[in-house]
Structure 1
Amino acid sequence: MHLDHSHDGPAAVSADARRPDGSRRALRIGLGGPVGSGKTATVAALCRALRAELSLAVVTNDIYTREDAEFLLREAVLPPERITAVETGACPHTAIRDDISANLEAVEDLEDEVGPLDLILVESGGDNLTATFSKGLVDAQIFVIDVAGGDDIPRKGGPGVTTADLLVVNKTDLAPYVGSDLARMAADAKAQRAELPVVFQSLRSEPGVTDVAGWVRDRLAAWTA
């Protein structure tokens, strides 16, 4: 794990940081990353870690299904009314970066129907390394990769790896079985990201999602300060 909170900085305050009634809207954090990297599992773990202290909700994105939302519903990580799905009908990148209207409608509907909310997690569908969220949709972005995808992913870079507010290297427990060198991944991530934080995580062992949840709390504290 490589996480230095001294470099996180405050969450950027968006021009639409307040709702029409003048109240502060929820902090929106996007989670992107390749298919199978563990985005939905990370969202589920964050919900379990934060639901007792925060009012939160989730928006998932899939091309033609509600599979990720249905997984979260089966796991009962939040009440059903706090989980909604967007069927993008096309490349998920479009719905989080270009035409963000469906996602904006989803997050606004959640705030209207179950708010007030502290936090909304917006999970993208399966992405490649170029995936980024529109700043008009989210206030901060987490990009999730996993060691089974190859320990050269941080070195390959791409906007998701190099510019996300937090990079999560997931499934570290698999490293011995897939031949991934975690020290090499850490060094490559540092070279690509400079002072931007990186977390190495296994959801199958302690500390699990603790470090990512701490980062989210820090962003929320800056947002509400």
Structure 2
Amino acid sequence: MHLDHDHPPVAPGAPVPTTRRPDGSRRALRIGLGGPVGSGKTATVAALCRTLREELSLAVVTNDIYTREDADFLLREAVLPEERIAAVETGACPHTAIRDDISANLEAVEDLEERVGPLDLVLVESGGDNLTATFSRGLVDHQIFVIDVAGGDDVPRKGGPGVTASDLLVINKTDLAPYVGVDLEGMARDAGRQRGELPTLLVAVRSPDGVRPIAAWVRERLAAWRSA
């Protein structure tokens, strides 16, 4: 079943089209994760699942152009039961399926809610994309954009909608900074200039407790969603 598939892509910060399912119950909070290839999106999704799965009912939708690689990684890592992970093969640039024609992703989200719901949270991971990638607000309620220090400390300064407008910017792999000659303080300053009051987190997701601040941010969004 499809809900609100006629919603056009809208700018970050625009109202969410609907918070209710046809039966009147509140639907799951949807958080999108985007970012360049290799930045650590799938590792972030896996770490969030491990951290939150005991306290929340959650599911994941992954996007790849022609494969199920990210979904298969999550299955191998056993971060969630198989029935809680869905894969979308976009067949085109990843931003198309998260911003321009969201029907395949929206169908995957809705099918998960019908099959294993009720759900508290659905994470929608984009395929690897560039700094212009953003999610339609008809698909997700909040969006996280993940970059990594190996991409260079000039990435926040270059901006782009993913960096400037995402609800949370994650600068990942901070543990690599000494090896790639990156100035973390400079990255943080540049991100602050680009993002204003929007939050930025510098983390090493694969380190012990590296995902903790991201999980705390997700919990805050979920608390606000429930109280709205």
Aligned length: 215
Higher normalized contact order (CA 8 Å, seq sep 6+, divided by chain length): 1
Spell out, residue by residue over 1:134-189, the C-alpha distance to the aligned partner (whole angstroms, 9 max, x if none).
00000000000000000000000000000000000000000000111000000000
Name the aligned partner's letter for residue 54 of structure 1.
L
Mind listing any 5+ residue stretches in structure 1 that lack a counterpart?
A: 1-10
Q: Root-mean-square deviation (CA), in Å?
A: 1.1
Q: Report the equivalent of 1:173.
A: 175
Go from structure 1 to structure 2 and tell me whether the alpha carbon gap of 1:116 and 1:13 turns closer, same or farther (over 3 Å shift). Answer: farther
Shift of 1:206: 3.9
CA distance in 1, matches of 2:163, 2:14: 19
Q: Give the letter for the 1:77 counterpart.
A: V
Scaled by the length of structure 1, the TM-score of the pair is 0.94
Deviation at 1:13, TM superposition (A): 6.0
2 CA distance for matches of 1:33 and 1:213?
18
Runs of 4+ in structure 1 displaced over 3 angstroms?
none
What is the CA–CA distance in structure 2 between the aligned matches of 1:127 and 1:163, rounded to whole Å? 15
Decide whether the 8 Å contact of 1:98 with 1:134 is kept in 2.
yes
Q: CA deviation at 1:16?
A: 1.5
Distance between the aligned counterparts of 1:158 and 1:67, measured in 2?
Answer: 27
| 2:108 matched residue in structure 1 | 106
Q: Which 5+ residue runs of structure 2 have no aligned equivalent?
A: 1-12
**Partner amino acid, structure 2, of 1:147:** V
Secondary structure (helix, strand or coil) at the match of 2:213 reads: helix
Of 214, 217, 221, the match for 1:219: 221
Equivalent position of 1:202 in the other structure: 204
Q: Secondary structure at the match of 1:53?
A: coil
- What residue is the counterpart of 2:88 in the other structure? 86
Paired residues of 1:173 and 1:204 also in contact (CA < 8 A): no
Match among 167, 188, 192 for residue 186 of structure 1 = 188
Partner of 1:5: none
Q: Match of 2:67, SS? A: coil
**TM-score (ref. length: structure 2):** 0.93
Is the CA contact 1:12–1:139 (under 8 Å) kept in the aligned structure 2?
A: no
Name the amino acid aligned to 1:113.
R
Paired residues of 1:58 and 1:123 also in contact (CA < 8 A): yes
Q: How far apart in 1 are the matches of 2:76 and 2:44?
A: 15
Q: Alpha-carbon deviations, 1:109-128, whole Å to 9, x = none?
A: 00000000000000000010
Aligned CA distance change for structure 1 residues 26 and 13 (closer, same or farther; 3 Å): farther
Is contact 2:33–2:145 with CA below 8 Å preserved after alignment? yes
Residue 51 of structure 1: aligned partner: 53
Q: Which amino acid aligns with 2:148?
A: D
Query: 1:63 & 1:14 partners in 2: Cα distance?
Result: 26
Matched, 1:41 2:36: no
Contact 2:43 2:206 in 1 (8 A): no
Q: Given residue 208 of structure 1, which amino acid in structure 2 is its aligned partner? A: G
For 1:72 and 1:13, the matched residues in 2 are separated by 31
Cα distance, 1:213 vs structure 2: 0.1
